[in-house]
Amino acid sequence: MLQRFDLLAAFWMTLQLAVLGAVGALVLGTVIAVMRVSPFSSLQFFARMYVTLIRNTPLTLILFFCVFGLMNAMGLRFGESRDTQNLFWGVVAIAVYHASFVAEALRSGINTVPVGQAEAARAIGMPFLPSLRHVIMPQAVRGSVAPVGNVMIALTKNTTVAATVGIAEAAATMKTMIEFYPNFLYFIFALVALGFVVLTLPTGIFFTWLSRKVAVQR
Amino acid sequence: MSASNGSQAAEPAPGRGAVRDDPLVVLKGVNKHFGALHVLRDIDLTVHRGEVVVVIGPSGSGKSTLCRTINRLETFESGSIEIDGQALPEEGKALAQLRADVGMVFQSFNLFAHKTILENVTLGPTKVRRQRPAEARQRAMELLERVGVAHQAEKYPAQLSGGQQQRVAIARALAMEPKVMLFDEPTSALDPEMINEVLDVMTDLARDGMTMIVVTHEMGFARRAANRVVFMSDGQIVESAEPEQFFSNPQSARAKDFLGKILTH
Ligand SMILES: Nc1ncnc2c1ncn2[C@@H]1O[C@H](COP(=O)(O)OP(=O)(O)O)[C@@H](O)[C@H]1O
Ligand SMILES: [Mg+2]
């Protein structure tokens, strides 16, 4: 059974979706969070709209829009094979969706930094971005690490949504395996669940360790 | 009512530097609202180079807002503010540049909590003034020496007493070589035994000729170091006079009332 279905390859796909999606979500989420706290009201407005809109839209819908709308209907294809094209839009959907949660997690960290810190930075003549980089963000990560870690764990598990558009990741493969080997139902479940634990546990441990590390440094 | 008319040529008292007839901070007809609240009403104020102005007045009269408006931590609706002949720019690079020339010391110190004392002082010079790190360090150590906390340079703010933190905050502001320093109740958050160590540093600064605008109720400091006391009430400058004259012979009813209250204890 395990020879017929390449579960390792499926988890490799899951891992790619998760890692690339996480990188995208962190970068995009940071940009949105920065816009949200910037002194420019148009950027603030855009960031607020983004978070409200994306956070309240189901991931499946965003994924369908990317794959059926942008890729198939509009022909926006990136990559050679069908698999890479699918992977690309899968990653985009996961990144776009989770960026809204990352942005909120970062903002809650920024809100723990007293306003006096930003005012002191402005008062010595620091423009917005340098004050964010040297004064606000280093203190904001302290309050952001744990919530960002939670988003990353949720993101890893949410990669299973990619099965709905035919990306052969772990959950999709699990479904076909069960169809062929209904007798091994519980075994297959357990195997895939274990696979996800193997992926998410280190993430959780890493973020717990990180939040301890940044918490004591003061 | 105008406060710009001059008692500037006061003869220097022991703690006072010489005042040149050279306007450095000029406010004309400044008005500011917080919603419906008219916090600053037609403020006219001229501070000359080397002059030390103490701002005094009841709580809520707009003293903090005045300070914060001068380096544009707050916006204002009408009137003009000039620093050394330059109008306050709108948000952006030019404003940041101008803020670097205006030192500010807050009631709650606001030292950067994640940086050492030394890093607190070198951050502005290296990131804003683009000084070389070695040069900034050396200058910072001189300033920390001057305010008496050089031996704490490697510690974090939370490890210092309030008085020490406030002296570091003064050093941090001085490291930018500002043209004028604003102090917003710098000793109000301090335990009584630490007030003098901060006031002493400020008195030295005044003697060295720093231009200063100081919101404080420390009358000893005002008498010792100020060229002029400005009395604010309800967002207006009600009175402006030499310290001796103001404390012994206030003109307005509001100033008399206020002094009566703070002198009774
Ligand atoms: N950010 C703000 N928003 C709304 N009202 C404010 C704000 N800051 C100050 N005020 C109000 O403005 C008035 C003047 O405040 P402030 O300048 O702090 O007075 P002072 O420093 O003389 O005690 C007060 O009534 C205060 O409540
Ligand atoms: Mg105040």
- Please say if the pLDDT value at position A215 is more than 80: no
Least confident segment among A47-51, A93-97, A163-167, B46-50: A163-167
Does residue A122 sit at the B interface (CB-CB below 8 Å)?
yes
Inside any domain, residue B135: no
Ligand 2 centroid–CA B185 distance in Å is: 7
Q: Which domain holds residue B86?
A: 23-110+179-263
Question: Distance from B11 to chain A by nearest Cα, in Å?
Answer: 32
CATH assignment of the domain containing B235: 3.40.50.300
Residue A26 lies in a domain: yes
Q: Which residue owns the Cα nearest ligand 1 atom 21?
A: B64
- Report which of residues A211 and A79 the model is more confident about: A211
Residues B206-258 have pLDDT tens digits of: 999 999 999 999 999 999 999 999 999 999 999 999 999 999 999 999 999 99
Please report which confidence band the pLDDT of residue B138 belongs to, taking 50, 70 and 90 as the band edges.
Answer: very high
Q: What are phi and psi of B249, to 5 degrees?
A: -145, 65
Predicted complex ipTM: 0.88
Residues near B89 by beta carbon (within 8 Å), at least 6 away in sequence: B95, B98
B25, β-bridge pairs:
B47, B83
Number of structural domains (chain A) is 1
At residue B196, the pLDDT reads 95
State residue B3's pLDDT score: 44
Query: Rounded mean pLDDT of chain A?
Result: 88
Q: pTM here?
A: 0.84
| B138 within some domain | no
pLDDT band at B264 (very low <50, low <70, confident <90, very high): low
CATH of the domain at A197: 1.10.3720.10
- Which residues from B are below 8 Å from A135, CB to CB? 112, 123
In a domain, B46, yes or no: yes
| Band of pLDDT at residue A181, cut at 50, 70 and 90 | confident
Residue A218 belongs to some domain of the structure? no
Mean pLDDT for A149-173 is: 86
Domain extent at residue A179: 7-213
Full strand arrangement of the beta sheet holding B180-184? B102-105, B180-184, B211-215, B52-56, B228-233, B236-241
Token couple for A71 = 């890729």
Number of structural domains (chain B) is 1
Query: Within a domain: residue B152?
Result: no
Q: What is the mean pLDDT of residues A35-56?
A: 94
Beta-bridged to residue B211, according to DSSP, are B180
Chain A residues inside the 8 Å CB shell of B73: 119, 122-123
Nearest CA to ligand 1 atom 18: B64
Q: Choose which residue among B39, B73, B262 to substitute to test ligand 1 binding: the one with the highest number of ligand atoms within 8 A of its C-beta.
A: B39
Residue with tokens 């050279």: B22
Burial class (CB in 10 A: 0-12, 13-18, 19+), A60: middle
Q: Is residue A190 scored above 80 in pLDDT?
A: yes
Q: Which residues are CB-neighbours of B203 under 8 A, at least 6 positions away?
A: B15, B221, B224, B225
